[in-house]
Structure 1
Amino acid sequence: MKTPYDSALRIRQSEIDDVRVAISVQVNQLTQIENSKAVVETRIQRETEIAAGDALMSSFAFVQRMRAERARLNSDKVKADTRLGQLRTEAVAAYGALRAIETAADSFRAEAESELARAEQTRSDDFAATAFVRRQAGMRRNAQ
């Protein structure tokens, strides 16, 4: 049964789907950042070990660049974590609104079904009353 809430339900469901996709993107981005951080850490360690074995080789510039990269990745991670938190909050709000609209739609359906049942009962009562009156009238005519 269609309800006046169907459009709002579709819109909210679409919003939830969009937020779900955005959350997935953020989680993937966080995974990529973590992987990049692991690569940077490995490269710093490897370069430091190589430079330690050769007194003439300096790894200072490389390590500084990698530390800057690590700092950038940490900053990106904080931003992505913040955005993920915001998206999760949006998802909870959208889901709550969806549930409220679904409840309203269910109430509308239940009320419509109840009204239909009352109308059917009234119609049945009217037929029964009409039949009763006709029988009574017929019995009065026969009694006269």
Structure 2
Amino acid sequence: MKTPYDAAMRVRQRELDEVSTAIRTETGTLSVLEHERERLRAALRSEAQVAAELTLCSLAWQGRMRGQGRELGVLQAQVQERIEQLREVAIDAYGTLRSIETAAEDYRRDAARLEASAEQSASDDLGAVAFIKARRSIRRENPR
């Protein structure tokens, strides 16, 4: 049964789908950043090992790698913050969607109850008409 809430439910469902997609995208970005930071850490460990073995000084390179690691850390924090914001939006959208769905269910239930009441009234009316006709018929057949 269609309700006046169907359009609002579709809009909210679409918003929720968009937020979910954005969360998945940001989570993917976060995963890439984490992988990149781990790659940098591994490169730093490897370079430190080589430098220790060859007694080479690679402080500039290590500094640059550490700087990139810090930048990636900042990016990770920003992405994590966006994910948290998107999750809040998703929670709000889901709550609104649920309230609209509840209103639509209540509307359907009320409509079904009104329909059942109308059917019962019609049935009662038909029964009353049949009773009155039968009573008149009996009075005609048996006048006092």
**TM-score, with length taken from structure 2:** 0.96
Distance 1:101 1:65 in 2: 53
Alignment of 1:1-144 (within 5 A): 1-55=1-55, 57-144=56-143
Q: Which runs of 4+ in 1 moved over 6 A?
A: none
Counterpart amino acid of residue 135 in structure 1: A
What are the superposed Cα offsets for residues 70-127 of structure 1, whole Å, 9 maximum, x if unpaired? 0100000110111111111111111111110010000000000000000000000010
Distance 1:12 1:80 in 2: 24
**TM-score, with length taken from structure 1:** 0.96
Q: Percent identity?
A: 38
What are the superposed Cα offsets for residues 4-41 of structure 1, whole Å, 9 maximum, x if unpaired? 00001101111111111111111111111110010000
Distance 1:54 1:73 in 2: 29
Unaligned runs of 5+ in 2: none
Unaligned runs of 5+ in 1: none
Equivalences, count: 143
